[in-house]
Structure 1
Amino acid sequence: MPLPTTETVPAGDYIDARTALHAATFLLDGQLAAIDAVKHAAPALSKGAQRMASAIRAGRSLHYAAAGSSGLMALADASELHGTFGIPSDQINIHMAGGVPVDGYMPGDTEDDETAVAQIAEKMRAGDIVIVLTASGTTPYALEVSRIAQRKGATVIGIANNSGTPLLDLADEPVCIQTAPEVIAGSTRLGAGTAQKAALNLMSSLMGIELGHVYRGEMVNVIADNAKLVRRSLGMVARIAGVSEDAAEAAIAQADGRVKPAILVATGCQLEQALSLLEQHSGQLGPCLASLTSNQTNGSN
């Protein structure tokens, strides 16, 4: 039986036969090639992002499910959604085979444990999005999550690094990121892992944009829960509303730290009006500001 691409043994000048500097360059070339592979999956990732945004708008949940290094990539992306885009944490679920490791030990046999999936099935609902990752495309845990998710009426976005694999056949939205053989055979934390991380970043960032949580390239739905982010929020309100930092600070206080309504308050509207405008325009700040400008122009005529 032929090996999947991610398991293929490299031929020729092996990495361990190179000098340290040449080995480092070889590793970096593999990482760059992995990122390049993500470009070919951009259309599928864009569709996945739209599905994710629709689910969040409808009050449904996102589920990330994977094992091993793929699970770590899923964990990294899912854990950033609340802080970066203000996605409610109760709409984000992380399912990692064997659980999230709390030390340097991550057992490998958990990826074969299909019975563990029954414990997470109760959290899935019709209309949810389940993002399943596996470099091989054949991991039993990942496949069982996909089957149960579909039985629950959830949509499966399946990301694999090998074409023609069971996960891609099962998925409602298959995403194949065909990475080259690893420079260290089978070590999918390298090229495949980098490609998965980039793909997840791309998809979740597109989701944030679709939801209106990015305006003029800034994170206008950020959760400002540390000093750095408080300063960033202050700067966003001042820049976008075109007001002083004192006025921005007052608007942020009135809006209880929420950047989008604070920007609208800083432009001159009441908080209730700001919240109403955001609801009318599905959280999109641009149309809200355009509406205020139009009303001000009409009022001056």
Structure 2
Amino acid sequence: MTSYAALRAQLDTLTTEAFRPELAEIDRLPTLDIARTMNAEDGTVPAAVAAQLPQIAAAIDAIAARMARGGRLVYAGAGTAGRLGVLDASECPPTFNTDPAQVLGLIAGGPTAMVKAVEGAEDSKELAEADLTALGLTEADTVVGISASGRTPYAIGAVESARTRGALTVGLSCNAGSALAAAAHHGIEVVVGPELLTGSTRLKAGTAQKLVLNMLSTITMIRLGKTYGNLMVDVRASNEKLRARSRRIVALATGAPDEEIEAALTATDGEVKDAILVLLGGVDGPTAARLLTESRGHLREALSLTRRNA
């Protein structure tokens, strides 16, 4: 059997690659009918994600435990999957004030692959190992391999290499019984079914991966104390919009008048979490910073310390 025939045989077994005869003439439909069909397809994705919530939650708890000890979260994928990982990682610093080196996205072929396909990059396990070596991956870290098919060598190679280094591993795919899930400590298989366009996994599979990555990063950050209720109290105010949002977050958390909010933010060099602690805990800026350090950044715990010391 030729390598081409072997690859075709593999693709024939994947749900994400299945051909749907009922859509064979979709190009002849009115635009509104195509849009309705596509929208109905997209509507099935949340249910597929819901079926994997226990696996997702278990992975999040394990990730948060590692990150609480100083570990990093690293996404690794090729093509659309890799781009989604890079996107999720890049949004953590402005949203949660994480260090840019704390949540990272690796894409097969490097930064160029974000906007242009890099031929053959996804087929190399060795490339994934080299990328992790360049990061100095340790047992404190977590690697999430992302692949719609669950068979992409780069994603599998990243997970396998990470395991040999003692790191925690998660495999996110959109096919059941995937090699990626089998290689990881935590397998998450969101089976969304065949795509509207045969094999175009940037569609339902991509949407599913985005939803799961949203959960992995967001809920991990909640567990790490990066929020207070549903408020982003670690937001980084790097522009006027975010500075306005910072003031609004302090107002929502404390109910304090504008002049007190401004004074608290000034006393804490604009740190939202510290300012809330100043207002709710009745402490000064340096004390707020110390209490947050003692409570590992958890605002509720820091507030309990102010009440205990009152």
TM-score, normalised to structure 2's length? Answer: 0.90
Measured after TM superposition, the shift of residue 103 of structure 1 is 7.4
Q: Which runs of 5+ in 2 are unaligned?
A: 1-8
Aligned to 1:212: 225
> What's the counterpart of residue 3 of structure 2?
none
Letter in 2 for 1:117: A
For the residue of structure 1 that corresponds to 2:106, the secondary structure is: strand
Deviation at 1:44, TM superposition (A): 1.2
CA distance in 1, matches of 2:114, 2:289: 44
Alignment partner for residue 281 of structure 1, among 295, 299, 303?
295
Cα distance in 2 between the residues matched to 1:33 and 1:112: 30
DSSP 3-state at the match of 2:43? helix
What is the CA distance between 1:102 and its match in structure 2?
7.2
| Structure 1 SS opposite 2:151 | coil
Give the corresponding residue for 1:83: 94
- Give the aligned partner of residue 6 of structure 1: 16
| Higher RCO (Cα < 8 Å, 6 or more apart) | 1
- What residue number does 1:245 align with? 258
Is the 1:251–1:266 contact (alpha carbons within 8 Å) kept by the matching residues of 2?
yes
Shift of 1:241: 2.5
Q: Assess if the C-alpha contact under 8 Å between 1:161 and 1:178 holds in 2.
A: yes
Could you tell me how far 1:108 is from its partner in structure 2? 4.7
Per-residue CA deviation, residues 224-249 of structure 1 (Å, 9 max, x unaligned), is 11111111111222332232222212
Aligned ranges 1:12-51 → 2 under 5 Å: 12-14=22-24, 15-51=26-62
Q: 2:267, 2:284 within 8 Å by CA — same for their partners in 1? A: no
**Alignment counterpart, residue 68 of structure 1, candidates 44, 68, 79:** 79
For 2:174, the equivalent position in structure 1 comes to 161
Q: Is the 8 A contact 1:241 1:264 kept in 2?
A: no
1:120 maps to 2:131: yes
Q: Any idea what SS the aligned residue of 2:169 has?
A: strand
Q: Deviations over 1:184-218 (max 9, x none)?
A: 00000000000000010012111111111121311
Deviation at 1:260, TM superposition (A): 0.9
> How many Å separate the matches in 2 of 1:64 and 1:33?
25
Cα distance in 1 between the residues matched to 2:120 and 2:263? 54
C-alpha distance in 1, partners of 2:114/2:271? 36
Q: Which amino acid aligns with 1:116?
A: L
Q: 1:105 aligns with which of 89, 96, 116?
A: 116
Find the counterpart in structure 1 of residue 201 from structure 2: 188
Cα distance, 1:277 vs. partner? 2.2
* SS of the residue 1:101 aligns to: helix
Partner secondary structure for residue 157 of structure 1: strand
Letter in 2 for 1:8: A
Structure 2 residue matching 1:136: 3-state secondary structure: coil
RMSD of Structure 2 on Structure 1 (CA): 1.8
Structure 1 residue matching 2:21: 3-state secondary structure: coil
Distance 1:189 1:253, change over 3 A: same
Corresponding residue of 2:106: 95
**Matches of 1:72 and 1:56, distance apart in 2:** 22
Q: Indicate conservation of the 8 Å contact 2:278/2:285, yes or no.
A: yes
* Cα separation, partners in 2 of 1:194 and 1:103, compared to 1, 3 Å: closer
Structure 1 Cα separation of the partners of residues 118 and 21 of structure 2? 29
Secondary structure of 1:219's counterpart equals coil
Name the CA shift for 1:275/1:223 in 2 (closer, same or farther; >3 Å). Answer: same
How many residue pairs were aligned? 296
> Can you list the C-alpha shifts for 1:2-31, whole angstroms capped at 9, x where unaligned?
420000011224322322111111111111
Aligned residue for 1:180, secondary structure, equals: coil
Q: Higher mean Cα deviation, 155-164 or 49-58? A: 49-58
Report the TM-score, using the length of structure 1 for normalisation.
Answer: 0.92
Checking the alignment, whether the CA contact within 8 Å between 2:174 and 2:192 is kept in structure 1 is: yes
Name the stretch that deviates more: 270-279 or 79-88.
Answer: 270-279
Percent of aligned positions that are identical: 33
List alignment gaps of at least 5 residues for structure 1: 297-301
**Counterpart-to-counterpart distance in 1, 2:100 and 2:225:** 18
